[in-house]
């Protein structure tokens, strides 16, 4: 069915369609028991797919990446669609409109997107109030909720720790884990926070607040050198972060079939090879000491399996969902179960990688 609608959808402005979809998903999320038919049709639950990571239990290893639901508008609906976890945001301390439109571009030939959204979101206060209302009405979300935190555009780099802390403290009651986003290419200067001195200052401030009470993860860029990654890994272990998310979008344009000259972060199939390469390197360097959430170019159950057997504990999708549609999660979970049966595995916990 989605394949029938996709040509029409792809003729519309990408951000306009995204906003309409989010509005519909948010409306569904307020329907209470009305979500049950959606869950029955779109999701596949099986205890063999369950995964435990950083002290949390996930019904399956596949989550929604940050950026799709920036304002935590449809948390319950994502769970009904079969996602094993949901990462909302990026959320900034201050509300901000993001970069001027147009700022989202499809590359169908490449099964890719380019975005330069610029952390458009309603801000930590408004999103905290929404999550509070959600909990009061329906209880905690049925799957782990991650909250991805970014820096407000108007905040100088020197004040970044205080900016992130403001968001973290306000959203603290609602997230099951928190992700520090210092790797988006669409906020001027943000990636400078991956430099050792600035990152150490930021991690010191945030881990001082968290004190091990909830998982804190770091999301890194695919465009780092191995030396930069090694520096980051040293800090991640020194400050006892719970895990890494790898990777964000890339500024590279290597191998694109689509002739396009637009700034921003590239996601989708062209990111697959680099994301997998970074995953393998992280797994080799860490030796299984920290969970890795792998993101970038995941479209099929084979893609998910490849990430899991190369060291990922969890994976996340974004662009794949745009191209594959709302039945994507059911297809991925079914594909994983079929692969497990062929491999003779009774659960995903039996799938182990050797660094």
Please tell me which residue in 184, 267, 275, 294 is annotated as part of the active site.
184
117 is in an annotated binding site: yes
How many angstroms separate the CA atoms of 185 and 221, rounded? 8
DSSP percent split of the chain into helix, strand, coil, nearest 5 = 45, 15, 40
Give the C-alpha separation, 306 to 309, whole Å: 5
The reply to whether 148 sits in an annotated binding site is yes
The answer to whether 68 is annotated as binding is yes
214 labeled binding residue? no
Residues 6+ apart with CB under 8 A from 193: 151, 157, 160, 182, 199, 202
184 carries an active-site annotation: yes
Phi, psi values for residue 64, rounded to 5°: -90, 125
Residue 234, annotated ligand binder?
no
Residue 69 annotated in ligand binding = yes
CA–CA–CA angle 276, 187, 260 (5° rounding) = 65
- Nearest to residue 277, comparing CAs of 321, 312, 320? 312
DSSP sequence for 103-138: -EEEEGGGTEEEE---S-B--HHHHHHHHHHHHHHH
What's the maximum distance between 2 C-alpha atoms anywhere in the chain? 54
Say whether 186 counts as a known binding-site residue.
yes
Q: Annotation-wise, does 67 bind a ligand? A: yes
Say if residue 271 is exposed, middle or buried (CB neighbours under 10 Å; 0-12, 13-18, 19+): buried
Q: Is 265 annotated as a binding residue?
A: no
DSSP for 138-166, written as a single string: H-S-SS-EEEEE---TTS-GGGHHHHHHH
66 is in an annotated binding site: yes
What's the rounded Cα separation, in Å, for the pair 277 and 17? 33
- Contact predicate 39/78, CB 8 Å: no
Tell me whether residue 60 is annotated as binding.
no
Q: Is 268 annotated as a binding residue?
A: yes
Q: Is 119 annotated as a binding residue?
A: yes
187 is in an annotated binding site: no
The reply, when asked if residue 281 is annotated as ligand binding, is no
255 is in an annotated binding site: no
Query: Measured between alpha carbons, how far is 180 from 205 in angstroms, rounded to an integer?
Result: 12
Cis ω for the linkage preceding 17 (within 30 of 0): no
42 among annotated binding-site residues: no
DSSP 65: P
The response to whether 170 counts as a known ligand-binding position is no
In the annotated binding site for FMN, the residues are 66-70, 90, 148, 181, 219, 247, 268, 297, 318-319
Binding residues: 66-70, 90, 115-119, 148, 181, 186, 219, 247-249, 268, 297, 318-319
Q: Which residues are catalytic?
A: 184
Q: Which residues are annotated as a binding site for substrate?
A: 70, 115-119, 181, 186, 248-249
């Amino acid at each position: 069915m989605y394949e029938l609608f996709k040509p029409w959808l792809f003729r519309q402005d990408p951000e306009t369609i995204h906003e309409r979809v989010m509005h519909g998903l948010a409306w569904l999320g307020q329907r209470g028991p009305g979500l049950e038919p959606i869950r029955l049709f779109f999701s596949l639950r099986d205890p063999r797919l369950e995964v435990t990571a950083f002290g949390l239990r996930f019904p399956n290893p596949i989550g929604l990446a940050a950026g799709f639901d920036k304002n935590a508008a449809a948390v319950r609906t994502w769970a009904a669609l079969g996602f094993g976890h949901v990462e909302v945001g990026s959320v900034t301390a201050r509300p901000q409109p993001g970069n001027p439109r147009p700022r989202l571009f499809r590359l169908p030939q490449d099964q890719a997107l380019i975005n330069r959204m610029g952390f458009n979101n309603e801000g930590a206060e408004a999103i905290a109030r929404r999550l509070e209302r959600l909990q009061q009405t329906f209880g905690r979300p049925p799957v782990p909720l991650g909250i991805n935190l970014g820096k407000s555009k108007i905040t100088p780099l020197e004040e970044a720790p205080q900016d992130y802390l403001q968001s973290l403290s306000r959203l603290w009651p609602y997230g099951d884990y928190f992700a520090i986003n210092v790797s988006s290419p669409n906020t001027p200067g943000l990636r400078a926070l991956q430099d050792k001195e600035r990152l150490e200052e930021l991690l010191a401030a945030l881990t001082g607040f968290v004190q091990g009470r909830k998982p804190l993860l770091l999301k890194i860029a695919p465009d780092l050198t191995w030396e930069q990654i090694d520096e980051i890994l040293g800090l991640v272990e020194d400050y006892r972060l719970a895990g890494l998310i790898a990777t964000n979008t890339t500024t590279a344009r290597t191998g694109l079939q689509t002739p396009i000259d637009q700034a921003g972060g590239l996601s989708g199939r062209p990111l697959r090879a680099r994301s997998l390469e970074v995953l393998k390197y992280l797994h080799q360097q860490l030796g299984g000491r920290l969970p890795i959430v792998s993101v970038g170019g995941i479209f099929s159950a084979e893609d998910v399996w490849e990430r899991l057997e190369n060291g990922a504990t969890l994976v996340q999708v974004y662009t794949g969902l745009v191209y594959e549609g709302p039945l994507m999660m059911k297809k991925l979970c079914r594909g994983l179960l079929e692969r497990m049966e062929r491999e003779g595995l009774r659960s995903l916990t039996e799938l182990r990688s050797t660094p």
